[in-house]
Structure 1
Amino acid sequence: MAIVDVRILVEGASDVEVVSKALQGLALGSEYNITISAIIPTTNVEIAKSAAAGADLLIIATDADRVGRDLAERLYGELSEMVGHVERMKLPLGHDLEHVDVELVKKELKNTLVRAGLKSLQVLPEYMALRNQLLDLKGRYDGLAEEYRRLKEEHENLIQTNEELRAENERLREENESLKALLENSRNVYRIDEAWKSLFPAEPVPDEAYIGRAVEKLGLAGKVIVGQGYIFAEDRNLVDELLRTVYLSLSIAEEPEPPRPEQPTSEVEEDLEVIESTEVKPEDLENLLKGQ
């Protein structure tokens, strides 16, 4: 249990001595769970404000005469909003340290503490109601905080989803533009097999990759596009020219090479050498001409 901070405000230094004397022998900590943290001798409101600010209980101990009562009322009006609770304590008239009845002051001090406690009990139902209201507000706050966290997470997810949808929409828009352009030029798209058979009905359709390489070799990239079984070109004549070139290339590649002349064998070469080295006589040549 927390200790209650009690401060006592008196009119002058002599009152400090009287109250201090009365406090001797009081077991306030064990009986009331309180501590007297300060005895403040002043009638100045600003000094009193500075010294009493933050106290749990402020006791204004003034004389029981009219002057003391007026001072207590003025201080109460100025200080009641700065402390937890303010209680009035009356000091006996004509008191001084030599003639004061310390037991009377002690009794008044204890009565003041009891009154303060009873007044606190009077506000206990209101305190409990405020406490329950505070707990209810805290529960609502925690619920709203959790709802805020959930909504924030959902908002972040929606932002991410929106960005993904925006990117997908841009991709579809570009794809749509490409499709529109393709539809607008659909008359310039030709099937490879149909275009080939229209030119070479008896020949097998060449591989699409081979036609694509021909486009690159002939420098037709950008003018002719080959893919997915189709040829795109600005002019059908360009398609026909390309396919004729491919046909010619394939025809050349399929023609067999002419046979190479056989080299004379070593035996023939020896005979030739023999003939070349034989001496022809005139009479033999004459007989050959006569048919002998």
Structure 2
Amino acid sequence: MTIVDVRILVEGASDVEVVSKALQGLALGSEYNVTISSIIPTTNIEIAKSAAAGADLLIIATDADRVGRDLAERLFSELGEMVGHVERMKLPLGHDLEHVDVELVRKELKNALIRAGLKSLQILPEYMALRNQLLDLKGRYDGLVEEYKKLRGEYDALLRAHEELKEENEKLKEENEGLKALLENSKNVYTIEEAWKSLFPAEPVPDEGYIGRAVERLGLAGKVIVGQGYIFAEDKALVDELLKTVYLSRVIKEEPLKPPRPPTEEPQNPEPEAGEGPDIVENPEVRPEDIEELPKGL
């Protein structure tokens, strides 16, 4: 159990002797779970602030006369926010230890502790409400911490991805600048549209990416460069061959070849149809020598 830190503020050194004498007959630790950490003799506000700061309970013990009451009220208003709780205690008039009723001081001290405890009970419901609010806020805080960690992880991942994309963009930018410079400084540069229309004026110009893939698949990388609407090659004939191949692939893709028709069988020895026969020559001319030759043939 936590020990309550109690400090007592008195007007002078003689009051310290009186209060100390009264404390000798009190078992504050076992009865009230408190400890008197210091007795401060001063009427100076700044010294009192420094000595009382952080106390759980501050008891202002001044004389019961008007001067003591005024001092107690001033200290109460100045020190109220610096300690957990402030309680007023009246000391009997007179500062001579031999003539002061120590038992009366002891009783007044116990009453001050009891009043402080009862006032603390009055604010207990408010304390419990604040405690519940604190626990609720702590739960929300823990949830926000977990959400923050998750978002932080996602942010770091996005940051790394951004850096990678940035590096890749810089690399592509350098390659694009190099390609652009190469195209601008080269003589063998042809626009895709002009090169295509020169071969196939009635056909639509194919997509640049399609031509680029054809370059890769035909193994022409390094010999032919396609980009920014241009084609670069050391030989115009190579460009023409490339575009013809692209055209042929498009034709095959769009109009697949039809399967060949099976051959029809024809009769080996066709029979003549009725009515057909050897040609007959009307009014043939028979020569005498032909007739003479017939017996020889027979």
TM-score (norm 2): 0.59
Q: Paired residue for 1:115?
A: 115
Q: Among 167, 184, 188, which residue is 2:191 paired with? A: 184
- Structure 2 counterpart of 1:234, which letter? D
RMSD between aligned residues: 3.3
Shift of 1:167: 5.2
Shift of 1:171: 6.8
Q: Write out aligned runs for 1:213-224 (5 A).
A: none
Q: Paired residue for 1:127?
A: 127
- The 3 A distance-change label for structure 1 pair 159 and 97 is same
Q: Paired residue for 2:212?
A: none
Give aligned-pair identity as a percent.
Answer: 76
- The 3 A distance-change label for structure 1 pair 157 and 110 is same
Deviations 1:246-266 (A, max 9, x none): xxxxxxxxxxxxxxxxxxxxx
- The 3 A distance-change label for structure 1 pair 164 and 45 is closer
Say whether 1:7 aligns with 2:7. Answer: yes
Where in structure 1 are there 5+ consecutive unaligned residues? 189-211, 213-223, 227-231, 240-292
Shift of 1:129: 1.4
Q: Paired residue for 1:145?
A: 145
Alignment length (residue pairs): 199
Q: Secondary structure at the match of 2:97?
A: coil
Structure 2 CA distance for aligned equivalents of residues 166 and 20 of structure 1: 77
- Structure 1 counterpart of 2:79, which letter? L
Q: Paired residue for 1:234?
A: 235
Q: Write out aligned runs for 1:71-86 (5 A).
A: 71-86=71-86
Structure 2 CA distance for aligned equivalents of residues 102 and 46 of structure 1: 30
Where in structure 2 are there 5+ consecutive unaligned residues? 184-188, 197-218, 225-232, 241-298
Q: Secondary structure at the match of 2:110?
A: helix
Q: Paired residue for 2:215?
A: none
Shift of 1:36: 0.7
Structure 1 CA distance for aligned equivalents of residues 172 and 190 of structure 2: 16
Structure 2 CA distance for aligned equivalents of residues 234 and 93 of structure 1: 121
Q: Secondary structure at the match of 1:98?
A: helix
Q: Secondary structure at the match of 1:90?
A: strand
Structure 2 CA distance for aligned equivalents of residues 101 and 94 of structure 1: 10
- The 3 A distance-change label for structure 1 pair 225 and 8 is closer
- The 3 A distance-change label for structure 1 pair 158 and 96 is same
Q: Paired residue for 1:20?
A: 20
Structure 2 CA distance for aligned equivalents of residues 52 and 15 of structure 1: 17
- Structure 2 counterpart of 1:85, which letter? H
Structure 2 CA distance for aligned equivalents of residues 17 and 99 of structure 1: 12
Deviations 1:222-250 (A, max 9, x none): xx949xxxxx542449x9xxxxxxxxxxx
- The 3 A distance-change label for structure 1 pair 66 and 183 is same
Q: Paired residue for 1:104?
A: 104
Moved more, 135-144 or 57-66: 135-144
Deviation above 6 Å: which 4+ runs of structure 1?
Answer: 170-173
Deviations 1:162-191 (A, max 9, x none): 34445556677758x97xx79836959xxx
Structure 2 CA distance for aligned equivalents of residues 172 and 49 of structure 1: 70
Say whether 1:91 aligns with 2:91. Answer: yes
Greater helix share, 1 or 2? 1
Q: Secondary structure at the match of 2:99?
A: coil
- The 3 A distance-change label for structure 1 pair 34 and 171 is same
- The 3 A distance-change label for structure 1 pair 102 and 225 is closer
- The 3 A distance-change label for structure 1 pair 171 and 17 is closer
- The 3 A distance-change label for structure 1 pair 183 and 18 is same
Shift of 1:92: 1.6
Shift of 1:96: 2.4
Shift of 1:94: 3.2
Structure 1 CA distance for aligned equivalents of residues 156 and 115 of structure 2: 59
- The 3 A distance-change label for structure 1 pair 92 and 160 is same
- The 3 A distance-change label for structure 1 pair 171 and 52 is closer
Q: Secondary structure at the match of 2:143?
A: helix
